[in-house]
């Protein structure tokens, strides 16, 4: 029996007893597809929100728009769970935790992202959002929630220059105050992504995100009421009511449910890698819908981002033959 054959036999049996082998997760599966769909819906969301909010009579005030869709998202998700026979109960021991991540993650993220988007462009929002994987990597490492692998770290670092190239203009990296505010929202989103892993380990992803939006709706209420007096309902355009529906059902309800599903199955760091697809979809949709320009530099940057994602999806598996090179059999 060769050295390799002996090792292969030893790995699968020990003293005549079968030894369970670790499962090898597929390089690409349903959680990956869920994240691609999520990023596409977020790309749509950036465009429709930019179209729908403003100070003109045919648009929504920023926090009125969000004050409408956040409780609607919670209601839609809770209703969906109940109609399928599921439970929406939140254990009392988790109430404080859910309330905390709803505030520090979802609420602060949404407030800063809306203010940033109002001061910047949809394409810039997508570009800045691609810093999320780096924030997730750092937060995961510091908190010990998940220890990133060398391959995941390499993928993020490869993708980062692509993100920066998307912001390159006139010989320098160009950001405005809106971009800086949105950068803060990315940090809040990273905190939310990392800590929500604990929540999705205990609850159905749809139930988890429904409760997060419920609490975030309560935090949002004062801002909603403050701007409500300035909102004129009769002049809001039909297109912006449609934008509200798309932003509520697509980029909030469906996208966030899929996001939690992906976090549960592949973890926050791997999920974070896919956030680099958000600027891809946002730039394309901003060009198609809003006429925002896509330059050759941006195309190059998007290519680098996709390369970084590809690096993280290369399957790596240590075979018995590879292990045999450094394996010393017991005497």
Query: Per the domain annotation, does 23 fall within a domain?
Result: no
Query: Per the domain annotation, does 218 fall within a domain?
Result: yes
Which 3 state secondary structure label does DSSP give 64?
helix
- Whether residue 105 contacts residue 188, with contact meaning beta carbons closer than 8 Å, is answered with yes
Residue 223 confidence (pLDDT) above 90: yes
pLDDT band for position 99 (50/70/90)?
very high
Query: Per the domain annotation, does 194 fall within a domain?
Result: yes
Greatest mean pLDDT among 32-36, 114-118, 168-172: 32-36
For residue 139, what are the domain limits?
Answer: 29-315
Q: Average pLDDT in the 247-252 region?
A: 88
The model's pTM is 0.70
Average pLDDT taken over every residue of the chain: 77
Q: Average pLDDT in the 267-293 region?
A: 75
- Give the chain's domain count: 1
Query: Per the domain annotation, does 311 fall within a domain?
Result: yes
Query: Per the domain annotation, does 54 fall within a domain?
Result: yes
Q: Average pLDDT in the 185-193 region?
A: 87
Could you tell me where the DSSP H helices lie in 167-319?
Answer: 177-200, 205-228, 238-248, 255-274, 277-290, 296-312
Query: Per the domain annotation, does 11 fall within a domain?
Result: no
Half-sphere exposure of 140 (CA within 13 A, CB side): 27
Q: Which residue has the higher pLDDT, 16 or 284?
A: 284
Query: Per the domain annotation, does 7 fall within a domain?
Result: no
């Amino acid at each position: 029996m060769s050295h390799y054959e002996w090792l292969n036999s030893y790995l699968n049996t020990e003293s005549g007893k079968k030894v369970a082998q670790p499962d090898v997760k597929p390089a690409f599966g349903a959680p990956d597809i869920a994240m691609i769909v999520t990023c596409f819906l977020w790309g749509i969301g950036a465009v429709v929100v930019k179209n729908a909010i403003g100070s003109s009579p045919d648009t929504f005030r920023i926090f009125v728009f969000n004050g409408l869709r956040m409780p609607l998202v919670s209601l839609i998700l809770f209703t969906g769970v109940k109609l399928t026979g599921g439970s929406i109960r939140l254990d009392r021991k988790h109430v404080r935790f859910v309330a905390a991540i709803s505030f520090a993650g979802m609420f602060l993220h949404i407030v800063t992202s809306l203010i940033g988007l109002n001061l910047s462009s949809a394409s810039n929002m997508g570009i800045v959002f691609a810093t999320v994987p780096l924030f997730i990597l750092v937060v995961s490492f510091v908190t010990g929630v998940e220890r990133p692998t060398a391959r995941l770290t390499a993928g993020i670092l490869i993708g980062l220059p692509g993100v920066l190239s998307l912001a390159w203009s006139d010989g320098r990296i160009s950001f405005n105050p809106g971009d800086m505010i949105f950068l803060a929202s990315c940090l809040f989103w990273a905190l939310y992504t990392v800590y929500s892993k604990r929540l999705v380990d205990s609850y159905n992803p749809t139930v988890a995100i429904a409760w997060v939006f419920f609490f975030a709706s309560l935090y949002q209420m004062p801002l909603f009421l403050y701007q409500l007096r300035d909102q004129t309902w009769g002049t809001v355009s039909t297109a912006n009511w449609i934008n509200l529906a798309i932003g509520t059902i697509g980029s909030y309800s469906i996208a966030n449910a899929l996001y939690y599903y992906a976090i549960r199955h592949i973890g926050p760091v791997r999920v974070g890698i896919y956030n680099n697809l958000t600027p891809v979809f946002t730039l394309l949709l901003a060009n198609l819908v809003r006429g925002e320009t896509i330059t050759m530099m941006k195309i190059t940057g998007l290519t680098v981002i996709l390369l970084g994602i590809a690096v993280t999806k290369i399957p790596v598996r240590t075979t018995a033959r590879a292990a045999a090179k450094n394996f010393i059999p017991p005497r």
